[in-house]
Amino acid sequence: MMGIVAYLVFFAIVVLIFGVATLGLNLQWGTTGLFNAGVVGFYGVGGYTQAILTAPGRPELLGNLGLPWLVGIAGAMAASAIAAAIVGVATVRLRGDYLAIATFGIAVALQLVALNWERLTGGSLGLTSIPRPLASVFEEPLSYDLFYLCLMLAIAGTVYVALERIVRSPWGRVLKAVREDETAAVALGKDARRFRLQAFVLGSTVIGLAGALYVSFIGFVSPFDFVPIITFQIWTMLIVGGSGNNKGALLGVLIVWGLWTASGTLISKLVPAAFQTQGGAVQAILIGLVLVVTLLFKPRGLIGEEPVVSRHLG
Amino acid sequence: MIDSILTARNVVAGYVPGMPIVHNVSVDVAPGEIVTIIGPNGAGKSTLLKAIAGLVLFEGGEVRCGGQDVSGHPAHELVRSGIGFAPQTGNVFTTLSIHENLVVGGHTLGRTLLRERLAAVYARFPLLAARKYAPGRVLSGGQRQMLAIARALMTDPRVLMLDEPTAGLAPRVVGEVFADLRRLAASGVAVLMVEQNARAALRVSDRGYVLTDGRNHMSGSAAQLLADPGIGEAFLGGRRLAS
Amino acid sequence: MHREAGKTLLAQAVADGLLTGAILALGALGVSLSLQILRFANFSHAELLTWGAYIALTFTTFATAGTPIGPLSFGWQLLLAVVVAGAATGLVALAVDRLVFNQLRARHAHNLTMVFASFGVALILRNLVLLLWGPDAHYYSDELQIAVEVLPGIRLLPDQVFVLALTLVLVLALHLVLRLSRLGMAMRAMAESPALARVCGIETEKAIRWTWIASGMLAAAGGVFLGLTVQLRPDMGFNLLLAIFTAAILGGTGSLFGAVIGGLAVGLAENLSVLIIPSGYKAAVPFMLLMLVLYFRPQGLFGAADRAAT
């Protein structure tokens, strides 16, 4: 009984963490129409920054500054914002495809840095002993997890409310106008770009926050925690939930993560050990199919209020 | 009244389904005639041509060319139905040479026919023949217009539609373009054009249509339209109709 | 002596760079074609390299790579395999278009929807390879090759020379088709202006089909060359995706010639960078190049200035 409760608490925490990331992505895509193909990069920047700032010092490492948790969180968000700015400033005046390529690229580049810059990131071994907030207060695993769940509920709730407010604000309305109508965007000119950049950076900051929360929960970090398929999972969560809609985003996380873990468990139980990699391949194919099928048959699931006419008519 | 070769009846068309820009517009052109469509900006003149050419949403009405129904047919079929079209923007391929523009214009032709038509077009437009391999992008506005017309002629169309052929051209060049169109019409081609340069266009035309707000407002011989005081002030003097 | 060694290292890096560059060029050509003609960034293109390589592998498994021709590690069966893989990969590309991208085009999908769909397609294609052929590395033949000194200080394997030569042939062939044939002119016309092309009577659907076939064939060749000179792995194409996109963008939107130059440039940059930065970061070089291009000249070296803008 306790095992199931513990598992559910853990599951809920992960759902909320991914939820925060999906909310950030929703601001970029659902509200502003920006295609971030490197979500895991910003997620990872947040996670690693949290680790580097808060983990206890080790002689061979440059970072590990042992700073307080909140500093880590703030730093993580700042680092994601900077990464987003680098990519965003270059591509905000260009076609959407370019942002996709650039974000894809930065995710690849960041993973390489994580793997290779051993002095900072611990290389392929990663960083351990990352302090969890209030770990000394809740020593028992289940009570700590319950605390973290409450913490996540509070944070996710705050992010949700904040983003909902932002989307309904005048700033948010401009974003929607810019997404819907490129002529309006052209009329606004430079301003449209500024809004898009702001939305992109803000969304990435939220994604970085999620990464930091993940790392400070798990307590260690390695480059293999931030693999490209995570970008995929978060996108699928957004799509299945119906993008443009923050509530839908959270629902999507629940569904997709539930299916993912369930299928993962099923595969590990049914498939003999020698074929585990192939089992993982099947999982990936299924998620790819879910995406493509949703795009083909339920396009509003992706774009919400899709413009009716192709921009490439004639 | 000579029989029209291109008849458009009650055409409804636009860019967004359910939100037409052209409402029940009808035009006719007969072989050898030059017909000009004029009207204020946003009146749907270009949209009408594009609808006939199969480039925008065709939502209602009927278009016939030489008796054949071509309503709403996809753009690439219009060439075989005898309709040539020179759009306003992007009227030539700038990344292709003059020769390649013409060859592409003759895409639907077999090899021998292509060779014949190329020879004919070069004979008709010696200026183009002189610079066969120049890339489209180095051509001036007037030269591009000439190339656009030459390209459309590769398929020996019975109807030639032109969207603002003299836009942005110097007055002397405007005259040259219109002279070319007169010669074309004299050889039996039906010419239908949309023009902002209303006065100059009507002077070389046989008939004209005035479109406002996507509808037929008036039509008549070019002389009648030129003489009409209402039209004169609104469209020919450069002053636009206040909506 | 030190300077001699440095020069040799440099020369060798250049040679390796050209080799990588040739493979990247083949991939970039396909990406450039779809950026121009199909108007979206196709993230599944790199998987066609993988498929081409593995289809050729299966073909040679049945027919064996054959008794090696001369100093090459493979026999004429591999050459045949390239042709078969090219045709098959062209068909795979067409099938994917028919099932996914064409359907989206018909519904007037936003071009970012197509990009997103291409991610899904990439995931499926990549993992199908993993499923069908397993995660281990494969090779076309077990023959060991001895590097030949092609120029003073530059040692290349005969296979690598073959790859460079054949890439040159393929690129020239593509160039000739595009420049001189009516189909090529129609495709270039379509790339510049689909509307005007249709007005000229070009059936865009047909041109699109040929674009997919050509992209698939070029990618397959690239994949086989990659498998030949390195190894076959399910993620072999995916690992080149960023470099291929960088090559296409560096070369310039709207320029196939640029895609080739871009490929060579990225290949050279990657291999020369190893002389300066730790080799683990080699794969990040394309990203840095990409950022430079996007910041300073988004239309690339040979692209039209207006193509890149929103």
**Which tens digit of pLDDT belongs to each residue from B203-241?**
999 999 999 888 988 889 999 888 887 776 666 654 444
A288 reaches C (C-beta below 8 A): yes
Confidence (pLDDT) at C2 = 58
Contacts of residue A270, defined as CB under 8 A and 6 or more positions apart, other chains included, come to none
A265 reaches C (C-beta below 8 A): no
Least confident of A178-192, A225-239, C137-151, C160-174: A178-192
Task: Give how far the C-alpha of residue C5 lies from the chain's centroid of Cα atoms, to the nearest Å.
Answer: 32
Nearest CA in chain B to C205: B76
- Please give the C-alpha separations between residue B240 and each of B40, B218, B230, in angstroms, as whole numbers: 6, 16, 11
Contacts of residue B39, defined as CB under 8 A and 6 or more positions apart, other chains included, come to B45, B210, B211, B212, B217, B235
Q: What is the mean pLDDT of chain B?
A: 88
Confidence (pLDDT) at A56 = 84
pLDDT band at B154 (very low <50, low <70, confident <90, very high): very high
Reply yes or no on whether the pLDDT at C70 is more than 70.
Answer: no
CB within 8 Å: C199 and B80: no
* CA–CA dist C51, C29 (Å, integer): 17
Show which of residues 242-271 on chain C sit within 8 Å of chain B, judged by CB atoms: 254
Least confident of A37-46, A217-226, A236-245, C197-206: A236-245
Mean per-residue pLDDT for A23-48? 92
Contacts of residue A99, defined as CB under 8 A and 6 or more positions apart, other chains included, come to A34, A35, A36, A37, A87, A88, A91, A92, A200
- The SS3 call for residue B139 is coil
Show which of residues 53-112 on chain B sit within 8 Å of chain A, judged by CB atoms: 55-56
Residues of C with Cβ-Cβ distance to A312 under 8 angstroms: 39, 111, 194
pLDDT band at A314 (very low <50, low <70, confident <90, very high): very low
The full DSSP string for C113-163 is: HHHHHHHHHHHHHHHHHHHHH-SS-B-S-------EEEETTEEE-HHHHHH
Higher per-residue pLDDT: B84 or C8: B84
Q: Indicate the pTM of the whole model.
A: 0.83
* CA–CA dist C261, C252 (Å, integer): 9
For an interface test with A, the pick among B16, B78, B88, B163 (most A C-beta atoms closer than 10 Å) comes out as: B16
pLDDT band at A302 (very low <50, low <70, confident <90, very high): very low
A vs B: CB pairs below 8 A: 11
Min CA distance, C308 vs chain A (Å)?
A: 6
Please report where in the chains the tokens 């948010």 appear, as a residue: A172
Confidence (pLDDT) at A104 = 92
Mean per-residue pLDDT for A96-116? 90
Min CA distance, C130 vs chain B (Å)?
A: 42
pLDDT band at A135 (very low <50, low <70, confident <90, very high): confident
Cβ atoms of residues A129 and A220 within 8 Å: yes
Show which of residues 295-314 on chain A sit within 8 Å of chain B, judged by CB atoms: 308-309, 313-314
CB within 8 Å: B16 and A314: no
Show which of residues 114-173 on chain C sit within 8 Å of chain B, judged by CB atoms: none
pLDDT band at B112 (very low <50, low <70, confident <90, very high): very high
CB within 8 Å: B85 and C201: no
Cβ atoms of residues A212 and A49 within 8 Å: yes
Reply yes or no on whether the pLDDT at A305 is more than 60.
Answer: no
Write out pLDDT tens, residues B59-97: 889 999 988 899 989 999 999 999 999 998 889 998 899
Helix H or strand E encompassing B207 = strand B207-212
Reply yes or no on whether the pLDDT at C64 is more than 60.
Answer: no
Confidence (pLDDT) at B243 = 37
Show which of residues 34-73 on chain B sit within 8 Å of chain C, judged by CB atoms: 53-55
A vs C: CB pairs below 8 A: 162
Please report where in the chains the tokens 């900051």 appear, as a residue: A205
Residues of C with Cβ-Cβ distance to B108 under 8 angstroms: 200-201
Neighbours of B239 (CB within 10 A): 11
Residues of B with Cβ-Cβ distance to A314 under 8 angstroms: 50, 55-56
Reply yes or no on whether the pLDDT at A293 is more than 90.
Answer: no
Confidence (pLDDT) at B29 = 94
pLDDT band at A60 (very low <50, low <70, confident <90, very high): confident
Write out pLDDT tens, residues B174-200: 888 899 899 999 999 999 999 988 888
pLDDT band at A188 (very low <50, low <70, confident <90, very high): low
The share of chain A scoring above pLDDT 70, in percent, equals 90
